[in-house]
């Protein structure tokens, strides 16, 4: 127990100094072609809201996958919540993922189950008692504006509603970090704004939020930190940044 305590302290110190997400000179190559990431360094502090923008193919999703430990860096160091992803043991991956909420462009819901079940499922797999699940799921569904839609089939929902379900599922286990890879890519402008506003509220409540997006209007309006990638490198990183127009 004392050793665990020492490790926790070490991680807390690392987070304090380097952020909840820390990439140090990270490269990732797939088997063919030029590297998807080429020596990127990035720190995200606890409680930050960060947009990641850049052309298709610039390496944004690869970066997200490294944070989720779906991929391992070819070189350089990736740390999430003070843990070095290269040293993470296989059996430690579920605990890491519990600390990370994630939403995608295509929602990835279980379409044979209703709204309630989609969210409750995320609690069942981490063995939360049924009594708590029955309390937590309605609360989180209300937070994302879906109170009263418990029994709806996901296939009967609009895109905006489906993404809210995905958000509720991502948040139900109280993650430290929320990662969103083009969460508004399939939504109309009104729903896109609503989802982004929700992400902002979630951030204001304390969660670190990283959002990959192509939505120029929203990025320019929200005045958050903007990290711009191009061909596997970070070409700019600005507090209260804007979407950079590509010159070529």
Residue 105 as a binder of ligand ADP (CB under 6 A): the answer is no
Q: Is residue 244 classed as helix, strand or coil in its secondary structure?
A: coil
Residue 213 as a binder of ligand ADP (CB under 6 A): the answer is no
Nearest residue to Mg ion, by Cβ distance, number only: 61
CA atoms within a 13 Å half-sphere pointing along the CA-CB vector of 136: 21
Considering only 2-10, 60-68, 168-176, 192-200, which stretch makes contact with ligand ADP by CB under 6 A? Answer: 60-68
Strands 83-84 and 75-80: antiparallel
User: Nearest CA to 146 among 118, 184, 112, 174?
Assistant: 118
Residue 61 as a binder of Mg ion (CB under 5 A): the answer is yes
CA distances from 213 to 180, 196, 231 (A): 8, 10, 16
Closer to Mg ion by Cβ: residue 49 or 104 = 104
Considering only 42-50, 57-65, 83-91, 119-127, which stretch makes contact with ligand ADP by CB under 6 A? Answer: 57-65
Residue 183 as a binder of ligand ADP (CB under 6 A): the answer is no
Do residues 110 and 97 lie in contact, with contact meaning Cβ atoms separated by under 8 Å? no
Q: Kindly tell me which residue out of 2, 56, 127, 248 binds ligand ADP, with binding defined by CB under 6 A.
A: 56
Considering only 5-13, 50-58, 85-93, 133-141, which stretch makes contact with ligand ADP by CB under 6 A? Answer: 50-58
With vertex at residue 137, the alpha carbon angle to CA 134 and CA 141, rounded to the nearest 5 degrees, is 145
Residue 30 as a binder of ligand ADP (CB under 6 A): the answer is yes
Which residues share a beta bridge with 100?
A: 177
Number of residues near ligand ADP (by CB under 6 A):
10
- The DSSP-derived string for 137-150 is HHHHHHHTT-TT-T
The distance of closest approach from Cβ of residue 81 to ligand ADP in the complex, given in angstroms and rounded to an integer, is 22
The distance of closest approach from Cβ of residue 57 to ligand ADP in the complex, given in angstroms and rounded to an integer, is 4
Q: Kindly tell me which residue out of 8, 12, 16, 57 binds ligand ADP, with binding defined by CB under 6 A.
A: 57
Q: Kindly tell me which residue out of 26, 48, 62, 102 binds ligand ADP, with binding defined by CB under 6 A.
A: 62
With vertex at residue 165, the alpha carbon angle to CA 123 and CA 221, rounded to the nearest 5 degrees, is 125
Do residues 212 and 224 lie in contact, with contact meaning Cβ atoms separated by under 8 Å? no
Q: 107 to 126, contacts with Mg ion by CB under 5 A?
A: none
CA distances from 176 to 63, 154, 203 (A): 18, 26, 10
The distance of closest approach from Cβ of residue 32 to ligand ADP in the complex, given in angstroms and rounded to an integer, is 6
Residues in contact with ligand ADP by the rule CB under 6 A: 30, 36, 54, 56-62
């Amino acid at each position: 127990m004392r050793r665990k305590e020492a490790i926790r302290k070490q991680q807390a110190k690392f987070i304090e100094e380097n952020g909840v997400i820390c990439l140090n000179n990270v490269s990732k190559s797939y088997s063919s072609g030029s590297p998807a990431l080429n020596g990127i360094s990035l720190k995200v502090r606890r409680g930050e809201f960060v947009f990641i923008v850049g052309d298709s193919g610039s390496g944004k999703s690869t970066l997200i996958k490294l944070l989720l430990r779906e991929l391992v860096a070819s070189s350089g160091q990736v740390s999430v919540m003070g843990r070095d992803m290269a040293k993470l043991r296989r059996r430690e991956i579920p605990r890491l993922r519990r600390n990370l909420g994630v939403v995608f462009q295509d929602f990835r819901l279980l379409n044979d189950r209703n709204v309630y079940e989609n969210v409750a499922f995320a609690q069942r797999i981490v063995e939360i008692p049924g009594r708590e699940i029955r309390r937590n799921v309605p609360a989180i569904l209300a937070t994302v504006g879906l109170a009263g839609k418990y029994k709806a089939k996901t296939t009967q929902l609009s895109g905006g509603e489906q993404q809210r379900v995905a958000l509720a599922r991502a948040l139900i286990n109280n993650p430290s970090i929320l990662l969103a890879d083009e969460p508004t890519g399939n939504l109309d402008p009104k729903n896109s704004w609503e989802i982004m506003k929700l992400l902002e509220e979630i951030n204001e409540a304390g969660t670190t939020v990283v959002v990959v997006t192509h939505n120029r209007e929203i990025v320019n309006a929200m005045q958050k930190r903007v990290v711009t990638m191009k061909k596997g490198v970070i070409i700019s990183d600005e507090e209260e940044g804007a979407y950079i127009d590509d010159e070529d």
